[in-house]
């Protein structure tokens, strides 16, 4: 990427982070709506719920340092994390498939990717990731799990056939109770090892080379 292109993406990201900062009210509104029927993604259709800038930079570094090219994301939202993934992919000549259940969010994310000049690196699949990634054939170098936590395990198991010896699985919100239950299952599987990052907010799963 040229310096000009990097500045263009960083300017957009600053704007998106400023919007995301207003999330607290939208998240509270989402929880209020969820009280009776349980948490529903649609109740958070205006909320970014994004990763931090530091996590974004970390993901970008991970991609570049390990020359990761085939990247899959569960949970696009408005595309903040995807923009970091795509910046990494631009350096490795890779591409990102990102999945979002809420159509309005996915369409807004697509606009952001155009504004960032990174839309040629990103495919957004609209709908339930369990369906839009079903029968995924390509091998996966990096999987970012950042959608609804009850799907981390079934999605991981569904995509496991696409993993290889160097696959990295970046798990956000690792400190939430549903994620902890998922990580407990993975911990018992000798095929994988785990490393906590960002004080336990993130866990990086890698394939154990002893096997
Ligand atoms: C935490 S947000 C993602 C934030 C985004 N990765 C970022 O950092 O900018 C989680 C997103 O996952 C989406 N989601 C929830 N369940 C999903 C499903 N079954 N398939 C696809 N997306 C889903 C939600 O609508 C929500 O926008």
What is the distance in A from the centroid of ligand 1 to the CA of 3? 30
Q: What's residue 30's pLDDT?
A: 66
Give the 3-state secondary structure of residue 100: strand
**pLDDT tens sequence across 29-86:** 666 666 666 667 776 777 888 999 999 999 999 999 999 999 999 999 999 999 999 9
Q: How far is CA 81 from the centre of its chain?
A: 6
What whole-number distance in Å separates Cα of residue 53 and Cα of residue 12? 13
What whole-number distance in Å separates Cα of residue 81 and Cα of residue 106? 13
Q: Is the CB of 81 under 6 A from ligand 1?
A: yes
Number of domains in the chain: 1
Q: Is residue 4 situated within a structural domain?
A: no
What is the distance in A from the centroid of ligand 1 to the CA of 147? 4
Q: What's residue 211's pLDDT?
A: 53
**Reported pTM:** 0.93
Contact yes or no for 132/125 (Cβ under 8 A): yes
Nearest CA to ligand 1 atom 19: 128
What whole-number distance in Å separates Cα of residue 50 and Cα of residue 75? 10
**Structural domain of residue 130, as residue ranges?**
48-207
Average pLDDT in the chain? 93
Q: What's residue 38's pLDDT?
A: 66
What CATH code is carried by the domain that includes residue 110?
Answer: 3.40.50.150
Q: Is residue 96 situated within a structural domain?
A: yes
What is the distance in A from the centroid of ligand 1 to the CA of 76? 5
Cβ neighbour number for residue 133 with a 10 Å cutoff? 20
Q: Is residue 30 situated within a structural domain?
A: no
Q: What's residue 48's pLDDT?
A: 85
Q: Is residue 43 situated within a structural domain?
A: no
């Amino acid at each position: 990427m040229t310096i000009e292109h990097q500045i263009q993406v960083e300017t957009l990201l600053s704007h998106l982070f400023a919007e995301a900062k207003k999330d607290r009210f939208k998240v509270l509104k989402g929880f209020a709506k969820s009280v009776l029927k349980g948490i529903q993604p649609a109740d958070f259709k205006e909320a970014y719920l994004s990763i931090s800038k530091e996590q974004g930079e970390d993901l970008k570094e991970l991609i570049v340092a390990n020359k990761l090219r085939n990247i899959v994301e569960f949970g696009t939202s408005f595309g903040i994390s995807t923009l970091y993934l795509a910046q990494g992919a631009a350096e490795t000549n890779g591409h990102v498939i990102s999945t979002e259940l809420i159509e309005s969010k996915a369409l807004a994310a697509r606009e952001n990717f155009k504004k960032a000049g990174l839309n040629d690196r990103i495919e957004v699949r609209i709908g339930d990731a369990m369906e839009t990634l079903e029968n995924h054939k390509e091998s996966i170098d990096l999987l970012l799990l950042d959608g609804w936590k009850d799907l981390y395990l079934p999605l991981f198991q569904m995509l496991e056939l696409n993993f290889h010896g160097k696959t990295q699985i970046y798990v956000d919100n690792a400190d939430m109770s549903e994620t902890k239950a998922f990580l407990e299952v993975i911990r018992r599987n000798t095929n994988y090892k785990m490393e906590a990052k960002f004080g336990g907010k993130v866990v990086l799963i890698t394939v154990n080379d002893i096997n």
